[in-house]
């Protein structure tokens, strides 16, 4: 390998040298978003998010398109998802600080790490498990596990009556370092539900070639029906 080739490889390392840009890639792994939404979800100013996105665009890790006055960004292909999965795996194996930071950020709540997705799918189809996607609705619509219901974490309390009491509930969000499912499981357990967390998210699904779907959530079948009116 000569210097010119090494310099091209180093472009990716330079693009990922900022934690903010790694965060933006993780959010884009959930689906396409306009710049304004990326700024909001990442806690950055619009100007700062735009600057970081331009760096990722120059490294061909993201692509964009215009829709009216808005600029929408997305990952530049499935290879970028695989790259993110490899990056996470390498960091976890080489850096003890990853586990330390994760322990400080998340509580352990009976994960289903290493779950066989085919077995999980069978249990969902058999009605033994209710699978909840607690990410925002637009992330669910972009990509979700088959049979999952969209129940964003900030709306969970208002929709508890949609959930059956006699089935196990498995909640997932953006991946192993996302706290949304952790909080959802804790809330469900406080309310008397049998609940666990699936640590996988879109990055892991791509790595394991798990089948996903897109589109809006179906209407829950457990919603209480109004009592018939008396004549």
Would you name the residues annotated as active-site residues?
Answer: 173
Residues 84-88: contacts with CB within 8 Å, 24+ apart?
84/25, 84/26, 84/29, 84/203, 85/203, 85/204, 85/206, 85/207, 86/207, 87/16, 88/176, 88/203
Beta carbons within 8 Å of 207's beta carbon, 6+ residues apart: 81, 82, 85, 86
Contact 27, 20 (CB under 8 A): no
In whole angstroms, what is the distance from residue 69 CA to residue 67 CA? 6
In whole angstroms, what is the distance from residue 181 CA to residue 164 CA? 18
Radius of gyration for the alpha carbons in the chain, expressed in angstroms and rounded: 20
Query: Counting runs of H as helices and runs of E as strands, what totals does the chain give?
Result: 10, 7
């Amino acid at each position: 390998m000569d210097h010119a080739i090494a310099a091209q490889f180093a472009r990716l390392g330079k693009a990922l040298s900022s934690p903010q840009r790694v965060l933006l890639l993780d959010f884009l792994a959930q689906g396409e978003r306009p710049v304004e939404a990326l700024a909001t979800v990442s806690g950055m100013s619009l100007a700062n998010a735009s600057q970081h996105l331009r760096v990722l665009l120059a490294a061909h890790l993201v692509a964009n398109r215009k829709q009216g006055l808005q600029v929408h960004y997305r990952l530049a292909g499935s290879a970028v998802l695989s790259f993110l999965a490899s990056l996470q795996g390498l960091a976890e194996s080489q850096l003890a600080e990853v586990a330390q930071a994760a322990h400080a950020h998340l509580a352990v709540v009976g994960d289903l790490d290493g779950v066989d997705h085919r077995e999980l799918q069978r249990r969902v189809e058999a009605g033994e498990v209710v699978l909840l996607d607690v990410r925002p609705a637009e992330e669910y619509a972009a990509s979700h596990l088959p049979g999952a219901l969209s129940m964003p974490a900030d709306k969970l309390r208002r929709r508890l009556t949609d959930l059956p009491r006699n089935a196990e509930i498995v909640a997932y969000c953006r991946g192993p370092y996302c706290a949304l499912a952790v909080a959802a499981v804790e809330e469900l357990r406080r309310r008397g539900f049998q609940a666990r967390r699936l640590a996988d998210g879109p990055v892991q699904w791509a790595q394991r070639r798990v089948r996903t779907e897109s589109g809006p959530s179906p209407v829950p079948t457990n919603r209480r029906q109004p009592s018939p009116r008396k004549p």
